Amino acid sequence: MSKLESFEPGLAKKLSEEREKDWRKALRRELTVQQRLAIPRHRMPEQPVSQRIKNFQEVNLGYTLELARAEAQRCLDCGQPGCVAGCPVAIDIPTFIKHIEAGEPERALEKIRETNGLPAICGRVCPQEVQCEKNCNLIKAGKEPVAIGHLERFAADFIGQLSEKVTVSTKECSAGKKVAVVGSGPAGLTAAADLARLGYSVTVYEALHLPGGVLAYGIPEFRLPRAILNSEISFIKSLGVEIRTNFIVGRTATLEDLKEDGFRAFFLGTGAGLPAFMGVPGENLLGVFSANEYLTRVNLMKSFKFPEYDTPVPAARKVAVIGGGNVAMDAVRTALRLGAKEAVIYYRRSRAEMPARAEEVKHAEEEGVIFNYLTVPVRFLGDSQGRLRGLLLQRLTLGPPDSSGRPRPVPVPGSEYEVEADLAVVAIGQSPNPLLIRQIAGLKLGRWGNVEVDWESMGTSLSGIFAGGDAVRGGATVILAMGDGRKSARSIDNFLRKC
Ligand SMILES: Cc1cc2nc3c(=O)[nH]c(=O)nc-3n(C[C@H](O)[C@H](O)[C@H](O)COP(=O)(O)OP(=O)(O)OC[C@H]3O[C@@H](n4cnc5c(N)ncnc54)[C@H](O)[C@@H]3O)c2cc1C
């Protein structure tokens, strides 16, 4: 007996009988629209706050089959699903949700995988509230949107537990032509997977000792467990993709060297690993970190296990994190888990403008993070040993919109005040990693050091070189990086068919 049959013996059988006719119609008859509208959104089970702030295990525990199916029943399977339009990779969301309602998570996952190669990751880290869920038609009926992200994660995790047998269609062999992918973040992994499916011989080159890009070095385990990332990467390897770590393209070998080795096309997914700093006095004091460095030490170098692992991280009592995005939330929640007595976010706008995912902000608030809005450091203060002892802060007010369309923060004269801090983490943004892209002769870069592309094809100014993800967009999102990787794979296929 399958897991589903043990859950509800009748439905799966009944639907499979109706499948040849129209299983979706049959499913619609199971509940009326009114009954579906009356079902409240199902909360994600979580680790209790008192427990989770002492460990790095995942906060969200995932839906059970029962919860997932009940949540799937809320989806009205509308004629014009706004959710699909809101998804950057256009997952057929109603179909996968209806498969879950019918108790067919395998089919749900197959449907998702048609357009999304990393569902267990996207289900966890995509900002659904500003994408698919924002367009859910339930909102128009005054209800909370269907928990699409939680359901995507459920399908990926549930099948992960059952087997690894999801099939992918492989197109005819593309004569073993070699393609090099630089960077193993979501952009590179997606491009690599799609190219492998198309029959190319794909090698991914990664500078760090582990693949995954930000998914490995930036996002902490309490949001994205390594086991999940590793299983997605194993799936991509199972398609025939080779991943070479500790290999810096531009240092270990140049693009020219790789061309001589027979690579016919390149995808640059080198990310935005260059942190921005504030440029205020005292930023070079001991105890002031970029979020990139702080999170890399903890996530990738396992500094929380020092001295078992080589890389230390300061044990701080009062931690100040500057910024309001996902990176800032990850840094401040990491500091709490490392034992900080006080962990404070300083953000220059108000809560309404904070770019972090709503769930991360909620979790941070529950965990005791203090949020100080409309505040910016104007100086980091040091002691006689050159160590951070505090911050000089200034209050701000919101003025007319700036070029980003958000209200411009304007300093309030005479509002400066001091606070104590023994660790400060600057998380105000990052720009494209310059290491490789600045040394490729003729590669056109934009104003912010980003690779310029033709958005239709993701082709760069150089023939045979394509790019996507944060290297092109600056710090953006996992799903946009994946979308770029996918588009580039199609363009590389077109390019290689011609030559
Ligand atoms: C802490 C943090 C939290 C985030 N949280 C979220 C979130 O919750 N949701 C969301 O959607 N987005 C989030 N983001 C943004 C998201 O992770 C990025 O937009 C996404 O990872 C970009 O993917 P990418 O493949 O373009 O680059 P990356 O993930 O940055 O990967 C680039 C890879 O290229 C490698 N590389 C660079 N140069 C070379 C070279 N010369 N040779 C070989 N390898 C090289 C790098 O080592 C890196 O591994 C977060 C970002 C950070 C930093």
In CATH, what number is assigned to the domain containing residue 478? 3.50.50.60
Ligand 1 atom closest to the CA of 469, numbered from 1: 26
Residue 31 domain-assigned (yes or no): yes
How far does the centroid of ligand 1 lie from the alpha carbon of residue 372, in Å?
27
| Domain termination residue (choose one: 128, 162, 196) | 162
User: Of 183, 196, 130, whose CA–CA distance to 472 is shortest?
Assistant: 183
How far does the centroid of ligand 1 lie from the alpha carbon of residue 121, in Å?
13
**Do 408 and 262 have their domain in common?**
no
Residue 98, pLDDT above cutoff 80: yes
> Beta-carbon neighbour count of residue 458 at 10 Å?
27
**Do 281 and 398 have their domain in common?**
yes
Q: Rounded CA gap, 249 and 207, in Å?
A: 7
Mean pLDDT of 283-304: 93
**Do 248 and 369 have their domain in common?**
no
Q: Rounded CA gap, 484 and 181, in Å?
A: 13
**Do 334 and 257 have their domain in common?**
no
Residue 167 domain-assigned (yes or no): no
Output the residue whose Cα is nearest ligand 1's atom 8.
Answer: 125
Does the Cβ of 274 fall within 6 Å of ligand 1?
no
Domain that holds residue 40: 3-162
Ligand 1 pocket test target in 266, 326, 354 with most atoms within 8 Å of CB? 326
How far does the centroid of ligand 1 lie from the alpha carbon of residue 213, in Å?
5
Q: What is the mean pLDDT of the chain?
A: 91
Query: CA 291, 295, 300, 306 torsion: positive or negative?
Result: positive
**Do 401 and 324 have their domain in common?**
yes
**Do 32 and 46 have their domain in common?**
yes
Residue 168 domain-assigned (yes or no): no
Inter-residue contact 458 to 483 (CB < 8 Å): no
Of 152-161, 237-246, 379-388, the poorest mean pLDDT is in 152-161
Ligand 1 atom closest to the CA of 331, numbered from 1: 1
Both structure tokens of 303? 């500094």
Output the residue whose Cα is nearest ligand 1's atom 53.
Answer: 218
Q: Rounded CA gap, 56 and 58, in Å?
A: 7
Cis, bond preceding 307 (omega within 30 deg of 0): yes
**Do 14 and 155 have their domain in common?**
yes
Per-residue model confidence (pLDDT) at position 162: 42
Considering its fold, how many domains does the chain have in total?
3
Please give the DSSP secondary-structure letter assigned to residue 253. Answer: B
How far does the centroid of ligand 1 lie from the alpha carbon of residue 186, in Å?
7
Residue 172, pLDDT above cutoff 60: no
Residue 14 domain-assigned (yes or no): yes
Does the Cβ of 478 fall within 6 Å of ligand 1?
yes
Residue 106 domain-assigned (yes or no): yes
Ligand 1 pocket test target in 58, 258, 270 with most atoms within 8 Å of CB? 270
Ligand 1 pocket test target in 203, 214, 425 with most atoms within 8 Å of CB? 214
Ligand 1 atom closest to the CA of 205, numbered from 1: 43
**Do 418 and 448 have their domain in common?**
no
Inter-residue contact 346 to 321 (CB < 8 Å): yes
Per-residue model confidence (pLDDT) at position 304: 79
List of residues 6+ apart from 354 with CB closer than 8 A? 324, 325, 347, 361
The β-bridge relationship of strands 375-382 and 388-401 is antiparallel
Residue 172 domain-assigned (yes or no): no
Does the Cβ of 470 fall within 6 Å of ligand 1?
yes
Mean pLDDT of 433-461: 95
Highest mean pLDDT: which range of 158-162, 168-172, 450-454: 450-454
**Do 145 and 192 have their domain in common?**
no
Output the residue whose Cα is nearest ligand 1's atom 20.
Answer: 478
Ligand 1 atom closest to the CA of 211, numbered from 1: 49
Mean pLDDT of 31-59: 95
Residue 168, pLDDT above cutoff 80: no
Q: In what order do the strands lie in the sheet with 242-244?
A: 242-244, 201-205, 178-182, 263-268, 465-467
| Domain termination residue (choose one: 428, 454, 489) | 428
* Local confidence band at 497 (pLDDT 50, 70, 90 cut-offs): confident
Does the Cβ of 182 fall within 6 Å of ligand 1?
yes
Inter-residue contact 182 to 103 (CB < 8 Å): no
Length, in residues, of the chain: 499
**Do 9 and 95 have their domain in common?**
yes
User: Of 52, 17, 44, 69, whose CA–CA distance to 357 is shortest?
Assistant: 44
**Do 396 and 446 have their domain in common?**
no
Summarised one tens digit per residue, pLDDT across range 295-317 is 999 998 888 787 788 888 888 99
Summarised one tens digit per residue, pLDDT across range 182-236 is 999 999 999 999 999 899 999 999 999 999 999 999 999 999 999 999 988 998 9
Residue 170 domain-assigned (yes or no): no
CATH code assigned at 115: 1.10.1060.10
Q: Rounded CA gap, 342 and 316, in Å?
A: 9
Residue 169 domain-assigned (yes or no): no
**Do 148 and 269 have their domain in common?**
no
> Beta-carbon neighbour count of residue 451 at 10 Å?
26
